[in-house]
Amino acid sequence: EVQRTWSHLESIFIGSADIRKQLPDDSKRFVGIDFDFKELMDAAVKTPNVIEATCKPGLFAKLEDIQDRLSLCEKALAEYLETKRLAFPRFYFVSSADLLDILSKGNQPLLVARHLSKLFDNLHKLEFEKRKKYRLRLCVDTTA
């Protein structure tokens, strides 16, 4: 459970500058979690016998502590996404993973465009023109 949660949150808290900026306390918390988790994994790699690696004194307590801190990060992330959904209710139509992708690439319209059909009905295609700024031409499917 710890590994699955850590791997899911790593790309969010380590890979997204926007999340680090919006959730600074939780990002710092995750940096500590990341260090502790990698330290445990390094110790496991150095112990080739699986019984010895998993029966080390204090290992279970360390894993529980990491899981508790990961839960706090998950909760903060969910609350952050909820504030975005309250600000723009159409975000309720996309998954949390898609919403994180939209928010982290918000200033790159070509990368966000793939999610727009989930937010707006009858969206047929988008055409972008690059001049000084992107200009968007929206084509709507009227047959639906």
DSSP characters over 11-62: HHHTT-HHHHHH-HHHHHHHHHHHHHHHHHHHHHHH---HHHHHS-TTHHHH
- Residue 106: per-residue pLDDT: 72
- Residue 134: per-residue pLDDT: 58
96, 83 Cβ separation under 8 angstroms = no
Residue with tokens 């990002």: 27
- Residue 72: per-residue pLDDT: 97
Which residues make Cβ contacts (< 8 Å) with residue 120, sequence separation at least 6?
A: 90
- Residue 49: per-residue pLDDT: 93
> If you ran DSSP here, which 8-state letter would residue 63 be given?
H
- Residue 17: per-residue pLDDT: 83
- Residue 25: per-residue pLDDT: 96
- Residue 131: per-residue pLDDT: 67
Residuewise pLDDT in 10s, the chain (144 residues): 999 999 999 988 988 888 899 999 999 999 999 999 999 999 999 998 999 999 999 999 999 999 999 999 999 999 999 999 999 999 999 999 899 888 877 777 788 888 888 888 877 777 777 765 655 555 556 565
Q: What is the pTM of this model?
A: 0.78
Helix (H) / strand (E) element for 89: namely none
